[in-house]
Amino acid sequence: MIYQGESIRVDFIEPGFAELQFDAKGSVNKFDQATLEEFSEALTKLKNTDDLRGVIVTSSKSTFIVGADITEFLTLFSDQEKTRSWVAKASRVFDQLEDLPVPTVGAVTGFALGGGCEALLACDYRVADSTATIGLPEVKLGLIPGFGGTMRLPRVIGPDNALEWITTGKNNKALDALKVGAVDAVVEPENLTKAALNLAKDAAAGQQDWKAKRQPKLEPLKANDTELMMTLVTAKGMVAAKAGKHYPAPHKAIEAIENGAREHREGALTAENNAFFDLTQTEACQAQVGIFLADQAVKGKSKKYAKAATKEIKTAGVLGAGIMGGGIAYQSALKGVPAVMKDIKQDALDLGMKEAGKILKKGVERGKVNSEKMIKILSSITPTLLNDAVKDVDIVVEAVVENPKVKGSVLAEIEDVIGDDAILTSNTSTISITELAKNLKRPEKFCGMHFFNPVHKMPLVEIIRGEKTSDDTVNAVVAYALKLGKTPIVVNDCPGFLVNRVLFPYLAGFAGMVDEGVDFVGIDKVMEKQFGWPMGPAYLSDVVGIDTADHCTVVMEDGFPTRMKRDESSAIAKLAAAECYGQKNGKGFYVYGTDKKGKPTKEADPATYELLGCEQGKKLDADEVIARCMIPMVNEVVRCLEEDIVGSAAEADMALLYGLGFPPFRGGPFRYLETLGMDNFIQLADKYAHLGEIYQVTDGMREMAKAGKSYFDTTSAK
């Protein structure tokens, strides 16, 4: 044995040829700080090993290396001096691999991402098996490759391909990597080790010029000035268009490659180190790393629920067709759970099937679905007018009109049809699950299952636990949501649950400005372009439906009569009274139509300004617009955590990211609060406290700030 550590072992696989194998104790290999130390020690041992002729780098697991240990990042990055030292030292470990006095071959199976890809790039040759996926996804964390990726990849596959890989963070299948030269061969999994060893032997025997293969990675980038300039200009244009100003990582990646292009390895690595460090100190990086950690926590919690499930969902029923019901039935059928779609009207069933067919047709056009699969999915949806058609299903998702009396009647009727062991759920967005359960004989078998529209695109499903909902029911419904490819987040019952409960104070903050005469178009521009929402509050209201939003204000007032009191003179109420329902009937805050080419249009109508009593072009300072919209939302999500509506800050952040499109570079409402600083937020909220209860922070937040605590320290995905 040449070297034995906790995560790495090195031994001769044949006389003269050593295998450096990553073999961490967990389910995957990753570069935490301890593994990087071992990597350096192992490479030092190899350098000093007599009679060494070649080295292959392998994994004992079904995947190579998934990257760095991201759980260490936020703590590490909070110490600037430690971060600078770490990135400089860690990146030079990979130089040790590149500088071994013998040929090296990386043998990649499964995922080789981030640091895993960079370890491969430090090898002279790379062999992948057909399962391999290779990439540098660091931009998705607000970072760039930090172990030499921006220096080595352009010298291996050319600057144009490297810029595309790095700035998009995309993963690449083995054959695609082969096409651009990122790997030298692709073989079947059972042949991987043998192929890597044979390549090392050929190189050692002089049949391959491994020194010539290595040399370009040690030198300035071989590209003439004009070619390089054009490549960089093109990349900058694409990044500016796609990433915009809120995501600095892809911009910094280009900067690192540009600054290191005319440098030898050490200079290029220094350029990368500097850019990487700069990004670690940005709010976007803190937010995006936070999202990754929150997502892992939410997924881990969901898996625990699903693992505890005693009932498997094999068939589903959907009550209420139309666009929402059709979307739910489609998603269920798509993921292998046949669905019976029941309605009282044939035209609704036709609309539901049409919706499923429309989604599938787009998939066929894009090459994601073939005709055979389309037919199979559609045949897995059974439209029916008969209650008896759902009598044998394992779960029913009720998706009828958002009216408590109608829902209560439909749920009670279908409960008498389905089996005693079947689960009943309601796709309600605001109505109390506990109240709906009063209509049922088996309330323990009932919970909320709130999908977001469009169902096939929106990843979040809120699972709402009523007062009498059993753990077995929650576990089974979470498992079903996971089977549908969704991210389920379990919340406790209250009006609006989590997502809509925190949305309405945000919309109320917006409406307050409109009521003061401020132009809603200007508010939308600030919240979209400066804060980063995909839609401003006026546009979002139109998309949700003004009538739906207006109806929900009644539900929210019932639950929170002082904080969310309905205002008949507010913009939403006025538009609803005027039958301006938003996109669904072509007029709301905006007027919707099509241009001469048939493309959708959205314009502010002078009649809307007259109706609402606001003034076209009247603006507030952008910071005030953001404060007046966001303070109510943050306050409400804090209340939800304090009241145990949601289990953790991580779950709340992911719910708003996946359910509302909260700007990822801000990381979710709790990460946004932490970035602002709790003391600063409280000071800002107090400035607007006179505007009403939604602007008044909780006593709990004041205590947290006074104690210097973090919501991420005190709450976790339990």
Residues noted as catalytic: 450
Ligand-binding site membership of 453 (annotated): yes
| Residue 324 known to bind ligand | yes
How many angstroms separate the CA atoms of 447 and 436, rounded?
9
Whether residue 69 is annotated as binding a ligand: the answer is no
Quick one: CA torsion of 38, 42, 44, 47, rounded to 10 degrees? Answer: -160
Would you give the DSSP letter of residue 65? B
For residue 608, the tally of other CB atoms under 10 A from its CB is: 24
Residue 401 annotated as binding? Answer: yes
Q: Which residue, among 380, 350, 377, has the nearest Cα to 364 in the 3D structure?
A: 377
Query: Inter-axis angle of helices 80-98 and 265-280, to 10 degrees?
Result: 150
Q: What contacts 714, CB < 8 A, 6 or more positions away? A: 704
**Nearest to residue 93, comparing CAs of 116, 122, 67, 120?**
122
Alpha helix segments (H runs only) across 67-191: 73-77, 80-98, 115-122, 149-157, 159-168, 174-180
Phi, psi of 105 (to 5 degrees): -130, 125
Classified as helix, coil or strand, 147 is coil
Q: Determine if residue 541 is labeled as part of a ligand binding site.
A: no
What is the C-alpha to C-alpha distance for residues 222 and 216, in angstroms, rounded to an integer? 8
Q: What residues contact residue 434 under an 8 Å CB cut-off, 6+ apart? A: 466, 467, 468, 493
What is the C-alpha to C-alpha distance for residues 387 and 397, in angstroms, rounded to an integer?
Answer: 13
Question: 10: which strand partners?
Answer: 3, 20
Is 129 assigned a ligand-binding role in the annotation? no
Distance CA 235, CA 160 (A): 8
Q: How many Cα atoms occupy the beta-carbon half-sphere of 608 within 13 Å?
A: 26
Residue with tokens 């090459």: 367
* Residue in this structure with the two tokens 């192992």, named with its chain if needed: 42
CB of 381 closer than 8 Å to CB of 339: yes
Distances (CA, A) of 309 to 306, 333, 466, 471, 639: 5, 21, 18, 9, 30
Distance CA 423, CA 466 (A): 13
Long-range contacts of 371-379 (CB under 8 A, 24+ apart): 377/330, 377/333, 377/334, 378/333, 378/353
Instruction: Flag whether 539 is marked binding.
Output: no
How far is CA 94 from each of CA 68, 72, 101, 193, 615, rounded to the nearest angstrom? 13, 20, 14, 21, 61
Burial label, 37 (beta-carbon count in 10 A; 0-12, 13-18, 19+)? middle
Annotated binding residue 402 = yes
Q: Which of 519, 233, 584, 551 is nearest to 406 (CA)?
A: 551
Q: Are 152 and 217 in contact (CB under 8 A)?
A: yes
Q: Return the biggest CA–CA distance within the chain.
A: 87
Report residue 609 as tokens: 């300004």
| Type of residue numbered 342 | K
Is 311 a known ligand-binding residue?
Answer: no
DSSP helix/strand/coil, 21: strand
| Residue where the block lists tokens 């009679």 | 51
β-pair partners for 56: 19, 105
Q: Is 95 annotated as a binding residue?
A: no
Is 500 annotated as a binding-site member? yes
H-assigned helices in 458-530: 471-483, 499-515, 520-525
Instruction: Give the residue ranges of the annotated binding site for substrate.
Output: 295, 500, 658
- Report the binding-site residues: 295, 324, 343, 400-402, 407, 429, 453, 500, 658
List binding-site positions for NAD(+). 324, 343, 400-402, 407, 429, 453
